[in-house]
Amino acid sequence: MDLRQLEYVVKIAEENSITKAADRLYITQSGLNQQLLKLEADLGIQLFHRTKNDFRPTEAGMIYVTYAKKMLQMKQEAYNIIHDMTDNKIGHLNVGLTPERGSTMFMEIYPKFYKAYPNITIEPLEIGIKKQISMISQGYLDLGFVTLTEKDKSSDEYIHIKNEDLLLGIPRIHPMAKYANGPGEPYATIDLEYFKKDRFVLMSRNSTMRGVIDPLFKEAGFAPNILFESASNYTLCTMVRNGLGCTILPEAYATAQESVAYFYLSSRPSWELAATYRKGSYLTKAARDFISLATQFWTLDQTSVS
């Protein structure tokens, strides 16, 4: 079996386009089309429904793509195991990073990783948690770094890094700020129900964090008056500093304590920061060392955004 044909068909299916697939594979469109036609002739069945600008797998095509992915993954895992056996520090890692916190971590630890593994190429991808989980399960990511609760987890593998509290943040000019402790002191605890008349700036409603936050308001007996939603915790911090509303955010972002008062909530909501990889896949030594560096960053450097 020609493994290149497996790669070709998988890429066409991923792109739903022979033109885009050819660009990604760095071959000509005519060359890729000839390979596809030859494979279909050998199999005696069409693998794709073709329109002018769209290639969609037929039923036979979907079967072929499913098994082609498995065979390509097995090939890569065999190479990974052999590289580790021979201490051959070469290869490639696709690493999923959450926006903001993931990029901060990567920029900090990559120089250390590169020093140990100069011939391993890392492709960092800034993507949301739900997308990471999906890509891990499908084999498109080797590693992911996610923040989530137990109910958000898929059947894949997770390596615990740390638990993280979610805090209520309010402007220091808010009347309830007088109950907060001063900067550098342990956070005071407060009930969310005292803020039912306030405006809130919150993470986007399709985010994993909202799966933690929304039940808090329900338990407090009110629906929040949401002024603004964002995919950026930094943006939420800025909005609170400017007195535009209250927010709930991970403790790691609670840095501007002169202008924002932070509280633990009575129910002490939290989530887990974890590394994840596909169930049953081989985790290379390089990947394990990358996770170790990330864990050190997030558990030892408490002054950095995690």
Averaged pLDDT for residues 36-57: 91
Common-topology check for domains 3-81 and 89-162+272-300: no
One-character DSSP codes across 38-59 = HHHHHHTS--EEEETTEEEE-H
* pLDDT-above-90 percentage for the chain: 75
Averaged pLDDT for residues 290-303: 84
Q: Which residue's entry shows tokens 């629906």?
A: 223
Q: What is the pTM of this model?
A: 0.75
Among candidate residues 119, 126, 163, the one with its CA nearest the CA of residue 252: 163
Residue 277 CA neighbour count, 13 Å, CB half: 16
Averaged pLDDT for residues 21-39: 91
Averaged pLDDT for residues 165-191: 93
The CA distance from 93 to 284, in Å, is 10
Q: Is the pLDDT of residue 306 over 50?
A: no
Q: Find out if CATH 3.40.190.10 is the number for domain 89-162+272-300.
A: yes
How sure is the predictor about 1, in pLDDT bands with cuts at 50, 70 and 90?
low
| Fold adopted by 164-270 | D-Maltodextrin-Binding Protein; domain 2 (3.40.190)
How far is C-alpha 139 from the chain's CA centre? 14
pLDDT score of 155 = 93
Averaged pLDDT for residues 5-29: 91
How sure is the predictor about 164, in pLDDT bands with cuts at 50, 70 and 90?
very high
Q: What is the pLDDT of residues 217-237, one digit of tens each?
A: 999 999 999 999 999 999 999
Q: Select, from the ranges 70-74, 83-87, 242-246, the one with the highest average predicted confidence (pLDDT).
A: 242-246
Q: What is the pLDDT of residues 97-133, one digit of tens each?
A: 998 899 999 999 999 999 999 999 999 999 999 999 9
173: which residues sit within 8 A by CB, 6+ positions away? 243
The CA distance from 190 to 211, in Å, is 21
Q: Which residue's entry shows tokens 């469109």?
A: 29
Cβ atoms of 255 and 78 closer than 8 Å:
no
How sure is the predictor about 301, in pLDDT bands with cuts at 50, 70 and 90?
low
Q: Could you tell me which CATH number the domain at 3-81 has?
A: 1.10.10.10
Averaged pLDDT for residues 90-102: 90
Q: Which parts of 145-223 fold into alpha helices (H)?
A: 208-220
The CA distance from 186 to 164, in Å, is 15
Averaged pLDDT for residues 44-72: 91
The CA distance from 265 to 95, in Å, is 33
Q: What is the pLDDT of residues 232-244, one digit of tens each?
A: 999 999 999 999 9
pLDDT score of 156 = 95
Q: Is the pLDDT of residue 78 over 50?
A: yes
Cβ atoms of 135 and 127 closer than 8 Å:
yes
The CA distance from 70 to 213, in Å, is 38
pLDDT score of 304 = 44
Q: Is the pLDDT of residue 249 over 50?
A: yes
* Domain range annotation of the chain: 3-81, 89-162+272-300, 164-270
Averaged pLDDT for residues 11-27: 91
